[in-house]
Every structure is written in structure tokens, then in C-alpha cells.
Amino acid sequence: MAKYFDVHPDNPQPRAIGQVADSVRDGALIAYPTDSCYALGCRLGSRDGIERIRSIRSLDDRHHFTLVCEDFAQLGQFVRIDNDVFRAIKASTPGSYTFILPATREVPRRMLHPKKKTVGVRIPDHVVAQALLAELGEPLLSSTLLLPDEEEPMTQGWEIKDRLDHVLDAVVDSGDCGTEPTTVIDFSGGGAEIVRRGAGDTSLFE
């Protein structure tokens, strides 16, 4: 049964955030809010967490997992960024974007795209997500909480708790989340390729 945390959207309670972070450190798989929609998240090196996310979402090994980072300095530890890409990403973060980039050796191999050796990274513009990342002190390995055969993600924490109680360890509820996932920009080939148009404005990359 998943623990349920009712967290204030503007002033998240430090005790609750600390408890969620502790559970992640202990190997928990959580559902948490972001600036686009709810996401599944676990600790970076969690093999069990990756397999559970794959199972819940019916994902294959070509799926790009995302490292959700607190800030640009943290993001830079896990991906290689040249100067032009640096400026483009810096100008659009924090925000509802996921960037696909070549990974550094800090990223576990099982997280990488098997052929491209790339990984998705993002910095969310969401108070609760940022509080959790600051408390955790490392990125969350994440994937949009979109269930198989459903066109839109769930928007309410209580609904996630009700439907996924048996497969999650914790649900962080801070109110309604949007249904539009992040805009995905692939920089791994040199230029900016828009892979998915979502919540983020694509005009910066066209």
C-alpha cells in the first residue's frame, strides 16, 4: 500500500518532503507532481525502480528515461553539452522541457538508450518537485505517469493513489497537475530535433 502525502503546492511542508526523500533513498517508487504532469520517480541507481516503471507503463528497452534535476549545475554532471546547446537549454530552464543528450559515465548503463547512449534530462518549474530534489540532493530517475492504452495522464494525486496503490510506495499530492507532458528536444545529433510537442514553447528551437 502506497503512503499518501498531502503537500501544500506553494509552501511544501519540510517534514513531509523529508519523509518522501527518505523513502526514495530507501528504494521507493513514488508518484510526484511536476510542471507538466505527474511522474513516476525513483533513485538514480535503482534497478528495481527502473523495472517497476517499465512494468507499470509497459515500456521497452528503447524508452528514454529522464533525470529530473534540481538545477543546471546538477544537470551538467550527467550529460555532455557544447556551447550552443548550453545557451539554448539555459534559456529555457527551469521549464516543461526534456532534453535528450549524450550521457556521461555518471549515468547507469541500464538507463541509457541502448544504441545512442543518450539520456533525457530536465529541470522542472514546480515548487514541490524542486523542494523534493533539493532535499534529496540528487536527480530523480523519472518517467511520465501515462498508463498503457490511455491517451492522457492522471491529474489528481488521490486518483493515482486509488488506481496504483498496489504498485507504488508513495504518492505526493499537491493538487491538480496538467495533462500535457513535456516538450522533448533531441540534441544528440548536433542540432535541435523536436521529438514531441508538449507543454513547453517550441519556438526557441525552430
How confident is the model over 120-145, as pLDDT tens digits? 999 999 999 999 999 999 999 999 99
Rank 13-17, 143-147, 187-191 by mean pLDDT and report only the highest.
13-17
Judge contact between 81 and 101, C-beta under 8 A: yes
**For the residues 146-161, what does the mean pLDDT come to?**
90
Q: How many CB atoms lie within 10 A of CB 138?
A: 18
**For the residues 85-113, what does the mean pLDDT come to?**
91
pLDDT digits (tens, 9 = 90+) for 82-95: 888 889 999 999 99
* Confidence tier at 63 by pLDDT (50, 70, 90): confident
- Note the pTM of the prediction, 2 decimals: 0.94
pLDDT at 155: 86
Give the pairing type, strands 118-122 and 30-32.
Answer: unpaired
Domain membership of residue 129 as a residue range: 3-205
pLDDT at 178: 83
| Cis peptide upstream of residue 114 (ω within 30 degrees of 0) | no
- Domain at 167, CATH number: 3.90.870.10
Of all helices (H) and strands (E), which one includes residue 180? none
Judge contact between 42 and 49, C-beta under 8 A: yes
pLDDT at residue 114 is higher than 80: no
pLDDT at 84: 87
pLDDT at residue 46 is higher than 90: yes
Specify the number of domains making up the chain.
1
User: What φ, ψ does residue 104 adopt, rounded to 5°?
Assistant: -90, 180
pLDDT at residue 70 is higher than 80: yes
Task: Give the range among 3-12, 79-88, 110-119, 142-151 with minimum mean pLDDT.
Answer: 110-119
